[in-house]
Structure 1
């Protein structure tokens, strides 16, 4: 098992790094030719990309939190109000 510590990197870069590693591992496992795209590889194996998988799990988690019977769980939900800072006159 590979464990990485991604400090100071953007979320999209983390997904890209993990997705690249995932595709390389899959290519090695099934001995895929170089001309087969990663999209085709994932479709044939029936395995979603990491970003899609994490988005699906996040959506399910938030959906479960919204209908939870414990009222304290509502505190875990992200704030729906978009607050913007007021400009200070210079």
Structure 2
């Protein structure tokens, strides 16, 4: 594993170690802000929301354009932490859906933000004035169905496996 500019990269580019580190940092930040975000805090809900947007969200949003291709299960780990802090802010009972809390606080879900940032990064590279960047996007392989465990088709074999 390599850590470069705050992003932990593994050789398979699964972003699992990076998201594990993000979850640790998110939990620590939520723990630090808990006295300000809990129901006993004199702050209004809008102020608590601003605290979340200012101090917690930038932790997971940094480099989200890179790990936008991470699996849904990895992004769900970040979403769980966002749900925790939004429930802490609103003091919502267990039977209130997370989607209702997101809509009431006007906070998009993690998956939406990450995919939007990923699309913006892709578009900026594609429309870049430098021909190296625009050529790079055109050379990206066409995505195939994910058949990592069952290689039944000729196209699914790695180059070293082909004869």
Bin for the TM-score computed over the shorter chain: 0.7 to 0.9
Q: Does residue 98 of structure 2 align to residue 26 of structure 1? A: no
Superposed CA deviations along residues 51-71 of structure 1, whole A, max 9, x for unmatched, are 111001111111111111111
Whole-Å separation in 1 of the counterparts to 2:120 and 2:83? 25
User: What's 1:13 paired with?
Assistant: 73
Structure 1, unmatched stretches of 5+, are none
Q: Does residue 69 of structure 2 align to residue 69 of structure 1? A: no
Instruction: Give the structure-2-normalised TM-score.
Output: 0.44
Whole-Å separation in 2 of the counterparts to 1:53 and 1:82? 22
Whole-Å separation in 2 of the counterparts to 1:36 and 1:59? 31
Structure 2, unmatched stretches of 5+, are 1-7, 9-15, 21-69, 145-154
User: What's 1:47 paired with?
Assistant: 107
Superposed CA deviations along residues 40-87 of structure 1, whole A, max 9, x for unmatched, are 111111111111110011111111111111111125426144583579
Instruction: Give the structure-1-normalised TM-score.
Output: 0.74
Whole-Å separation in 1 of the counterparts to 2:143 and 2:93? 48
User: What's 2:140 paired with?
Assistant: 79
Q: Does residue 98 of structure 2 align to residue 38 of structure 1? A: yes
For the aligned residues, what is the CA RMSD?
Answer: 2.9
